[in-house]
Chain A
C-alpha cells in the first residue's frame, strides 16, 4: 500500500471517528459525503484512464472526482471575494508547480522534498498565502496541479514532444490528490498554529453562524469573514 492510499485510509478512519470535523465543517461536507468522495477516489483509481483525445486522458479517481469535489467546495464558498481568491490561488499554484517542475533538480535525491509532496507543499503554501482559507487551499491544490499538467501538455505539443498528458493518471496517489489534501492540511495546521501563537483569535467579534465564520457585530464587513484562522471561542 502506498503512502497516498494509506493517507486516504487513515484520513477516512479519522473522519469516521469524528476527528476531522474541523476541516469538514469548513469544507461544507458532512462525514458521509467526505467518505463517499474518498471511496470514489480509491475505486476510480483502479479504473483505466478515459481518453480525451490524442495523447490526453483523465483518471476518474485522480482527477474527475477531486475536480468535482473542488467545484462543489467552490460553489459553497462564502463570498465572491473567496471565489476570486480561489481562482487566483489556483492559477498561481499551477504556475508555481509548473515552474517548480522546470527549476528544481531532476533527481528526487537532490530535492529537499520528494516530488510526490513538493507540488502539494508548493500549491499548499501559495494557496494559503493567496486563498487564505481551507476551501481555497483545497481548490488551488487540486486545480493547480491539473493546470500545471495542462500547461506541460501545451508546451509538449508546441515542441513536438510525444509525452502524453494524463490528468490524475496515478489515481489516489497522483500529485493532484496528494496536493489537494496536503494544501488543506497545511492551511489547517498553519491557521491553528498562528492562532495558538498569538494566544487565541484576534477576531473576537467573529463567531460561527450557519456554517460560516461571520462578523457578529457587522455582517456586511466582508473582509474579515474569509480568514478561517479565526475560531469560535
Chain B
C-alpha cells in the first residue's frame, strides 16, 4: 500500500497560527470579578432542599463539603444553568479530641520545632475588599496582602517563624496557580524546614456568609479549601480537621466550613498545605485582619501544640435548674510532628501504583509477547542489552 504524503508542516502550522490569531482578540481573562455582572456563585443544597452554602466558583460532582457543624456531604448533581448543586449527607466528621489539662504547670508545654517555618503567599495578588480598598481587584497590590501581613505578624507574635512572599502572580487568570507554584517552591527552598504552607485568598460571595461574632467580637469567618486531586489530600485534611477542632472550641464560628474541590491548588507540594479564604470581597478588610489573630493562634496550636481554653457550653451532667453558663476548660494539643501523617505516605503509594499499572498497560499495548519476554530477560540480566 502506498504511504500518503502529509501536507507540509509549515502550511499546517500557518493555518493553525491564523486560527489562533483569530481567537486571540476574543480572549478575555476570566478574572475573579465575574460575580459583579451576575450572581456568579453556585448554591449547594442538601437532599431535603435545605441550602448548605454558596461558592464563588463552579461546583463539581464528587466535590465534598464539611459544614460548620461538621456534617460531611458529597455533591452528586450539578445544574450549571441554574448554578445549583445537590449533595447527599455521608456522615458526621470525627474531629480530633483533646485531653483536658488540670495541672497548671502543663501550661508551659514544650513547643518543639519552632525553627520550622510557616510559609504564606497569595496566588491571586489582586484580591481586595471593596469596603476598605474601594474595589474588588487591585492588580499586584490587592488588599489580600494586608490581610496576609496581619496573619504573618500574628504568627510571629506567637514566636513562630512566619514568612510572607508578596510576589505578584498577575494576571488573575488560569496561569496564576502555575506562577504561584514557583513562589511556593521558592519559599520552600529558602525556608526549610517547613511547618506548613498556606495560600491566602478572599472569597467572592455575599457578605452575610462571612459575617461572624466570635467570642463577642465582630470579625470575618474563614473557609478552608482543600484540593481533592492532590496526593497529600488526606494529610492536608488531617491538618484542616485539627484546625477546625481547635477553632470550634476556642473560637466558635471562626472556621466557616471546609470545601474539598476539584484541583490541586499546589497542595501536593507539602503535606501541610491549605488554602484559606479570609472573608469575601464585600466584607471589610479590617474584619478579615481581625480574624487573622485568632486563626494564627489556632494554626500555631494545631502545628506546634499547646494548651488552649475551650469556650464550650458546660457539661451536660449538671443538675437541673443550673444555668448553662459557658465553662472554660483547658485542653492540651499535641504538636503535629508527633502525630501520624497517614495521608502523605498513602498519596505517594497510590501514585506509584498508578504509574506502574499504567506502564504495564502501555507495555502490553506496545509490545508483542516475545518483546515483553526479552525485556524481562534484560531486567533479570539473562540477556545483555544490545
Contacts and interface: CB of A to CB of B under 8 A. Distances in A.
19 contacts: A2-B231, A3-B231, A3-B268, A6-B352, A10-B356, A48-B186, A99-B24, A101-B175, A106-B31, A106-B176, A108-B177, A109-B261, A114-B227, A115-B264, A163-B167, A166-B186, A169-B183, A170-B185, A202-B3
Given A102-B175, A104-B173, A175-B178, 11 more contacts: A106-B29, A108-B263, A110-B58, A110-B262, A114-B227, A132-B6, A132-B9, A163-B179, A164-B167, A166-B186, A169-B186
Contact of A192 (B1, B5, B169, B365): B365
Chain A CB within 10 Å, residue with most, of B172, B189, B352, B375? B189
Contacts of B385: 18, 21
Nearest to B350: A6
Interface in A126-181: 126, 129-130, 132, 152, 156, 161-164, 166, 169-171, 173-175
Nearest to B176: A106
A107 B172 CA distance: 9
A196 B365 contact: yes
Contacts of A116: 178, 181, 264
Contact of B264 (A81, A108, A162): A108
Contacts of A17: 379
Interface in B232-256: none
Contacts of B352: 6, 10
B203 to A, nearest CB: 11
B35 interface: no
Contacts of A92: 13, 16-17, 20
A119 B174 CA distance: 10
A72 to B, nearest CB: 21
B84 interface: no
Contacts of A164: 167-168
B30 A22 contact: no
A107 B167 CA distance: 19
Interface in A179-209: 188-189, 192-193, 195-196, 202-203
Nearest to A163: B168
Interface residues of B, number: 72
B366 interface: yes
B170 interface: yes
Contacts of B355: 6-7, 10
B10 interface: yes
A156 B177 CA distance: 16
B142 to A, nearest CB: 12
B196 interface: no
B140 interface: yes
Contacts of B17: 92, 95
Given A2-B268, A99-B20, A174 B140 contact: no
A8 to B, nearest CB: 11
A193 B174 contact: no
B12 interface: yes
A59 B183 CA distance: 12
Chain A CB within 10 Å, residue with most, of B20, B167, B169, B174? B174
Provide the main secondary structure of the chain A interface: helix
A34 to B, nearest CB: 14
Given A84-B9, A96-B20, A101-B173, A161 B140 contact: yes
Given A114-B229, A193-B365, A18 B264 contact: no
B185 A110 contact: no
A170 B12 CA distance: 33
A162 B179 CA distance: 13
B351 interface: yes
B125 interface: yes
Interface in B1-54: 1, 3, 5-6, 9-10, 12-13, 16-17, 20, 23-24, 27-32
Contacts of B173: 101-102, 104, 106
Contacts of A7: 351, 355
B366 A22 contact: yes
A109 B263 contact: yes
A52 interface: no
Interface in B309-362: 348, 351-352, 355-356, 359, 362
A105 B172 CA distance: 10
A56 interface: no
Contacts of A89: 13
Nearest to B352: A10
A88 B185 contact: no
Contacts of A21: 385
B9 to A, nearest CB: 5
A36 interface: no
B101 interface: no
B190 interface: yes
A161 B168 contact: yes
A161 B139 CA distance: 7
Nearest to A31: B385
A106 B56 CA distance: 12
Chain B CB within 10 Å, residue with most, of A10, A115, A166, A196? A115
B182 A224 contact: no
A111 interface: yes
Contact of A48 (B179, B189, B269): B189
A88 B30 contact: no
Chain B CB within 10 Å, residue with most, of A81, A107, A116? A107
Contact of A170 (B32, B172, B182, B231): B182
Nearest to B5: A223
